[in-house]
């Protein structure tokens, strides 16, 4: 057996191999023969800032727009079979992540982003900002949107999966660090936080769209809080590779 491979590392990752530091130690990556890997550490360092700063900025902007980050709105009713599957707190998590998926998707499919990029390019051509300044902004904004796209479905799908895994009755025998649903919730939380950092970047740049972006961010923040409530021990889970080195 080749000891370089980390057993099971791919079970609790985000499947974004292009941005992963463990490609050389992952059997799934080896099998998919993915060859593109552009310095993932650098990519995530560029995206991230102190997460507390992200939350503080969100709180201030939400207040400005009269949005209550603690309030969970009435959402579309669940289908009958889904209703039977979830308890009240679980249902709220299901609903809010679903709401995020729909609202964020609608924004991504609208012309807002394309129009903003065109305006930036135009400013560069007119000399209102330098060409390289325009290019840097376009690259940074496009990377933020890439992150949002990657985790768009992931957050709802993985949080729903964590809720289902938790319903299995054999978990009592395992420590928190080995309960698979904690691992699934943990990678969901990472996806939420990365998405929030990406949206904050858009919020800072796209003044005209701030009201819509802050509403989307509020859904992510509610998802994050509900996830932590449903999975209070998620941080104890040790993901092979990612949390060991």
Question: In this complex, which beta carbon is closest to ligand SF4, that of residue 9 or of residue 216?
Answer: 9
Instruction: Say how far apart CA 188 and CA 196 lie, in whole Å.
Output: 12
Look at the block and give the residue holding tokens 């590392």: 9
Taking each helix axis from N to C end, the angle separating 40-47 and 180-205, rounded to the nearest 10 degrees, works out to 60
Question: In this complex, which beta carbon is closest to ligand SF4, that of residue 43 or of residue 171?
Answer: 43
Least gap, CB of 28 to ligand SF4 (angstroms):
4
Among positions 72-131, residues that touch ligand SF4 (CB under 6 A) are none
Least gap, CB of 15 to ligand SF4 (angstroms):
5
Least gap, CB of 44 to ligand SF4 (angstroms):
12
Cα–Cα nearest to 97, from 78, 81, 116: 78
Question: In this complex, which beta carbon is closest to ligand SF4, that of residue 29 or of residue 113?
Answer: 29
How far is the CA of 176 from the CAs of 115, 117, 172, 180, in angstroms? 47, 45, 9, 9
Least gap, CB of 186 to ligand SF4 (angstroms):
14
Question: How many residues of this chain interact with ligand SF4, rule: CB under 6 A?
Answer: 12
Least gap, CB of 31 to ligand SF4 (angstroms):
9
Among positions 4-43, residues that touch ligand SF4 (CB under 6 A) are 9-10, 13, 15-17, 20, 22-23, 26, 28-29
Q: Does position 191 bind ligand SF4 by CB under 6 A?
A: no
Question: In this complex, which beta carbon is closest to ligand SF4, that of residue 17 or of residue 141?
Answer: 17
B/e letters for 196-229, b = 16+ CB within 10 Å, e = fewer, are bbbbbbbbebbeebbebbbbbbbbbbbbbbbbee
Question: In this complex, which beta carbon is closest to ligand SF4, that of residue 11 or of residue 60?
Answer: 11
Question: In this complex, which beta carbon is closest to ligand SF4, that of residue 58 or of residue 187?
Answer: 187
Instruction: Say how far apart CA 205 and CA 42 lie, in whole Å.
Output: 21
Whether residue 141 contacts residue 238, with contact meaning beta carbons closer than 8 Å, is answered with no
Least gap, CB of 237 to ligand SF4 (angstroms):
15
How far is the CA of 8 from the CAs of 59, 117, 188, 210, 238, in angstroms? 38, 41, 17, 41, 12
Residues found near ligand SF4 in the complex (CB under 6 A): 9-10, 13, 15-17, 20, 22-23, 26, 28-29
């Amino acid at each position: 057996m080749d000891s370089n491979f980390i057993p099971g590392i791919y079970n609790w990752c985000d499947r974004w191999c292009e941005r992963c530091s463990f490609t050389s130690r992952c059997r799934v990556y080896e099998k998919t023969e993915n060859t593109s890997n552009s310095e993932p550490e650098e990519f995530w360092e560029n995206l991230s800032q102190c997460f507390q700063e992200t939350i503080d900025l969100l709180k201030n902007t939400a207040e400005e727009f009269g949005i209550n980050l603690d309030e969970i709105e009435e959402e579309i009713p669940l289908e009958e079979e889904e209703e039977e599957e979830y308890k009240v707190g679980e249902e709220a998590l299901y609903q809010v992540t679903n709401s995020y998926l729909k609202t964020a998707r609608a924004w991504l499919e609208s012309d807002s982003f394309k129009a903003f990029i065109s305006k930036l390019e135009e400013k560069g051509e007119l000399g209102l900002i330098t060409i390289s300044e325009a290019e840097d902004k376009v690259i940074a904004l496009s990377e933020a949107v890439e992150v949002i796209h990657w985790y768009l479905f992931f957050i709802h799908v993985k949080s729903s999966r964590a809720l289902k895994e938790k319903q299995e009755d054999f978990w009592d025998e395992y420590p928190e660090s080995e309960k698979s649903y904690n691992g699934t919730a943990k990678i969901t939380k990472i996806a939420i936080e990365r998405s929030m950092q990406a949206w904050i970047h858009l919020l800072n740049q796209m003044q005209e769209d701030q009201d819509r972006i802050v509403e989307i961010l509020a859904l992510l923040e509610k998802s994050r809080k509900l996830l932590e409530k449903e999975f209070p021990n998620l941080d104890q889970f040790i993901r092979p590779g990612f949390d060991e080195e």
